[in-house]
Amino acid sequence: MGVLKTLAITGVTLAVIGGGAVVGDNIARSYAQDQVAQQVQDEFGLAEPPTVELGGVPFSTFFVTRRVPSASLRATDLPLEISGQQVTVDTVEIVAEDLQIDGDRITIGSGRADGLVGYPALTQLAGVPVAAGAETGRVQVSYTAELFGRELEAVVSAMPALNDDRDRLLLNQPQIQVAGFELSESIAQWIIDELVAPIQLELPYGLVPESVAADASGVRVAVTAQDFLVPQE
């Protein structure tokens, strides 16, 4: 996911700081965190700088080892590319451990990114209106369908889940309502089969979602990585 590009910015910033003879452990940490936040804000055009925390006691050992034991970042309204489309992710939280910087190469020992993809972004990805479902954990997707010679709106409530390849959101356990019609089970199933389609969820850099869960704000997507070499752009 593009969010991991922020970790590359973190590593490059730290390398620059390490060559600048910054003295004082707390001063070095605070300065590095501020610089990373500013660079991420500038890189993504954020309205507000993200919250950045860099671990390690003492922090100044980084300048010798070129390793950061832990780093975290939280940003809001982050523009990212998902399934070839530029969408805004409401919130992104990244936690990474064992970052190793070797020149311009940054390797993450382990990392996790949690993003909240709001319903406007899901609507963009799906190409049809997507909203929170009436029941916890469900989403509501609206389709236009022609039934008995009339154009009607079909509203489908479903549980989002990942497909086997983890690159699409499936709409499981669908329930359908069509205003003005009492549907038999067979007709309801036919409409579902005709209308309900997965939502593409392809992430860059070969990353795949680990899990998804819907709530009133959107669908929360978790991504994990092990021994991940951050791509340089």
Compute φ and ψ for 57, nearest 5 degrees: -130, 115
pLDDT tens track for 33-57: 888 888 889 888 999 999 999 887 7
CA distance linking residue 223 with residue 83, whole number of Å: 15
> pLDDT at position 2, please?
47
Which regions of the chain are under pLDDT 50? 1-3, 20-22
Sequence-distant (≥ 6) Cβ neighbours of residue 158 within 8 angstroms: 133, 138, 139, 141, 171, 172, 173, 174, 175, 196
Q: Are 128 and 36 in contact (CB under 8 A)?
A: no
DSSP code of residue 206 = G
Residue with tokens 């389609």: 197
- HSE, CB side, 13 Å, CA atoms: give it for residue 86: 2
Q: Domain residue spans in the chain? A: 2-118+218-229, 121-200
Residue 101: both structure tokens together: 């910087």
> Distance between CA atoms of 55 and 72, rounded to whole angstroms?
8
Q: How far is 63 from 164, CA to CA, in rounded Å?
A: 43
Q: What is the DSSP string of 104-132?
A: TEEEEEEEEEEEEEEHHHHHHHHSS-EEE
> pTM (2 decimals)?
0.83
**pLDDT of res. 232:** 62
- pLDDT value of position 193: 83
